[in-house]
Amino acid sequence: MHVAARRTLATMATSSRMRSWFPTTSYPLVVSAPMDFVTNPKLATEVTKAGGLGFIQGGRDFTPSSPVLRKLDDQLTQARELLLGSNPENSGSDRPLPIGVAFVMYAPSAAHFADTTLPILLKHRPAAIWLFAPAPSAPDTLPNTLKALRLGFKSSSSSEEEWTPKLVVQVGSVAAALGAAQHGADVVVAQGVDAGGHQSAVGAGIVSLVPEIVDALAGREVAVWAAGGIVDGRGVAAALALGAEGAVLGTRYMVAVESDAQDFKRKAILSTADGGVNTVKSQLHDHIQGNTSWPSVYDGRAIVTPTYRDQLAGVPLDENTKRFNAAKENGDVSRMVTWSGTGVGLIKDELPAAEITRKVREGALKVMAGLKSAL
């Protein structure tokens, strides 16, 4: 690598806004996506230990005495012990917790967020709080939740360290990004339709979505993270070239050693190639499992199965559901849903989360160094 290229990369690393916001991270910022039934305290903390930013999924049930919130409290306690040890001096709220926690906001119980969920966040003090999928029928959900969080931060006090977590909002359009910024988001996750799992039903890939959002937010103190189809250092480098300050990886971490993903999902991801053809966005993936709670403006990308092919062939949902349930009861996993982004064909192995994080970051630096040295 040329001296000039090394100097440029060093400058970028030390001047990174993400490094100042998240002091435990390394440049470039690699973020593990919050995923139901996949992420857990071990995975998230291993990502953080390796210089990334790990997230856990906090759920979508904010009713009083919700078991989901009890689980969240337990998970954050586990994360603190994994990162800071079991020393009683580290168990309280004086030290911020260098991971993030995410919430899905479309359920009516989101109205209880400030009363039931904010106290847990104030107790554990995570580095970032990620919000996604407010219901179109409840347009005040996002602004009210962001406001409640800001007020909660101001009311909390610490004699040792200031706690000002960054507020992250996942979006799938320029309009949604502008709305999130207006309501006080620090970070918008520009999620392209190449992403796995739940997302906006209509949208664009990150190649056009990220730079348009970056341009739309120019002059504001709002960072952009790219999400969708990113699984290696090349994808991270591309995201940075598009203007993002961080890259979110989901499908890649599904096959992390620490992941809670079931064996059939791991096998499906490792055996699937040509992700643009062999994954598909559809609400069928939810409906076939009996989940009709997601608003129609959202769908999800998953690996193509016989269930989806049957739908294309005209099989009615009732009959398709019978086939799905029969296969499940018989131990046939061929129809089971595996959420996956279009980058699935680039995933060849299961690795520890920390190793994934380091390899992706080092791969991105190598790509950028090669581009710099070619100038």
List residues with catalytic annotation: 198
Cβ neighbours of residue 42 under 8 Å, at least 6 residues apart? 78, 82, 258, 353
Cβ neighbours of residue 294 under 8 Å, at least 6 residues apart? 106, 133, 198, 283, 286
Instruction: Give the bridge partners for 303, in sequence order.
Output: 279
From CA 276, how far away is CA 254, in angstroms rounded? Answer: 18
Angle, alpha carbons 219-125-110 (nearest 5°)? 75
From CA 141, how far away is CA 112, in angstroms rounded? Answer: 10
CA 190 to chain CA centroid, nearest Å: 11
From CA 163, how far away is CA 77, in angstroms rounded? Answer: 17
Cα end-to-end distance, the chain, whole Å:
12
Cβ neighbours of residue 218 under 8 Å, at least 6 residues apart? none
Radius of gyration of the chain (CA): 20
- 3-state SS, residue 214: helix
**Burial status of residue 154 (CB atoms within 10 A of its CB: 0-12, 13-18, 19 or more):** exposed
CB atoms within 10 A of CB 329: 8
CB atoms within 10 A of CB 102: 24
What DSSP string runs through 126-153?
EEEEEEE---TT-TTHHHHHHHHHHHHH
CB atoms within 10 A of CB 331: 7
From CA 12, how far away is CA 7, in angstroms rounded? Answer: 9
Cβ neighbours of residue 45 under 8 Å, at least 6 residues apart? 54, 79, 82, 83, 99
From CA 82, how far away is CA 47, in angstroms rounded? Answer: 12
